[in-house]
Structure 1
Amino acid sequence: MEDRERFTLLRITGKYGGSVAIELDESGLSGIPDTSGELMVHNDFVAGLTRTYVEPYDLAPWEHVLDEVEAGRDSVWREHARVAAIGIQLVDREHDQDQITVTVADQQATRVAIGLEVNRGWIEEQREMLHGIREAWKHVHPTVLR
């Protein structure tokens, strides 16, 4: 069976382990991500994977979460949505790193929170991945991505 290409919307990885990621499947159009994929959470205590999906209209709220966290405020993406919500709390900001807590909660009352120490450029890395998904989708979903 051939491995499908993955498109990463977000990947927050701690300096000392642990990560949260959303990778989208490849659609029927080469080089274009599908709206379905996997949400993965991993640290020394827990490893979880669930199917998820991301619609084009989910991208602007994800960008808003990044803006809020960059400004030092806690924020939640897709809090009242049909899929797992992802919250980011900025616990501490030091010279070259941030200490954050990422919480993933779904509608079945499953909730996991992992603490991560991340290099200061982690928000810019998330913005680059977001930009990549927007660029890939811009010809398929142009009215939603304005």
Structure 2
Amino acid sequence: MELVRLGDELNGVVVRVLGRFGAGSLQFHDHLAAEVVVATEFVSGKLDLVLTPADLQDWEHALDALAAGGGVRWLDGGRSPEVQLSVLERGRLVRVTVLDEPVSGVSVTLDLPVNSGWVDDHRARLRSVREAWPSEVVESSPGVYRWR
């Protein structure tokens, strides 16, 4: 399921959720295995990542900032590829940088056209991911987990 889709089939960035990362393990059950895919006519690549419930919350906040015309850094905790987004040309373009600082140090920046309503589309994608893989674990105190 695609959480993020910016661009088209020739040039774009996609964050695809593949399923639960640690299904059945209390500590990791709500973590999601995912991948970020960058595809252009010039360069392409794919990086694996794990999304935590906090990452999904951060994405929700990032969408709010993007709707207001701001820029964001998402997944910037140093454990996975970072995604930077900024709105350009009065909302008609989004500059996306995927930075693989933790492993290769490589970054790719794309300016991608977006349609009006693209933020709402991404909010709907986030809702769909949360519905497909609802939170089933509660951290009752630091490092202590239980099933809901």
Q: CA deviation at 1:143?
A: 6.5
Structure 1 unmatched runs, 5+: 1-6
Inter-partner Cα distance in structure 2 for 1:82 and 1:34: 14
**TM-score where L is the length of structure 2:** 0.77
1:105 equivalent among 88, 91, 99: 99
Q: CA deviation at 1:45?
A: 1.6
**Equivalent residue, structure 1, for 2:27:** none
Q: Is the 8 A contact 1:69 1:90 kept in 2?
A: yes
Structure 2 CA distance for partners of 1:85 and 1:22, relative to 1, 3 Å:
same
Inter-partner Cα distance in structure 2 for 1:34 and 1:61: 14
Equivalent residues in 2 for 1:18-29, closer than 5 Å: 18-27=11-20
1:63 equivalent in alignment to 2:60: yes
**Equivalent residue, structure 2, for 1:35:** 32
1:93 match: secondary structure:
helix
**TM-score where L is the length of structure 1:** 0.78
1:75 equivalent in alignment to 2:46: no
Structure 2 unmatched runs, 5+: 25-29, 141-148
1:115 match: secondary structure:
strand
Q: CA deviation at 1:142?
A: 6.1
1:58 match: secondary structure:
helix
Q: CA deviation at 1:50?
A: 1.3
1:114 equivalent among 103, 110, 116: 110
**Equivalent residue, structure 2, for 1:4:** none
Size of the aligned set, in residue pairs, is: 132
Q: Is the 8 A contact 1:100 1:117 kept in 2?
A: yes
Inter-partner Cα distance in structure 2 for 1:36 and 1:99: 28
Q: CA deviation at 1:34?
A: 6.4
1:82 match: secondary structure:
coil
Q: How well do the aligned residues superpose, as a CA RMSD in angstroms?
A: 2.5
